Structure 1
Amino acid sequence: MGRVYKRFKEEMNTPTIEAFLLDIAKQAVNEEVYLLCNDKAQEQHCHRFILMDIIEELAKVNNIPLKIVKS
């Protein structure tokens, strides 16, 4: 896990942000949700991929049936 990934993930670890990301997970069960990023970094360092990992983890912990497609 890269330094950028770890730091950003730590910054997203607040009750307010986790609640917001959990809402995205719930919404994504019934409709397509797209996360966009304007960063020119490599994919593994892109913030949207980190957010998708966090959303996927939150969905799993909360028993939300979610399928994430990373592209």
Structure 2
Amino acid sequence: MMVGRGYLSRQAFALLSFARATGNPELAAMLVEKASSLKSQADEIMPSGDLSPKAPDVETDPPSSRSG
């Protein structure tokens, strides 16, 4: 099963938040690098097709031939 773009984006945001909160510059750099990796993965995921409702198929009767 593949994770979605939203999940990866939320994880990257959390890592960036932790990076800002830490006082350890090495840890912050590692977290930013990991967030960048997650962002790249999210960008590679193709958006699923058009999820909007589809119009119903409409069949029309062929025009009747009139003899006149």
Q: TM-score range by the shorter chain?
A: 0.3 to 0.5
TM-score by length of 2: 0.36
Normalized per residue, the structure richer in helix is 1
**Larger Cα-atom Rg:** 2
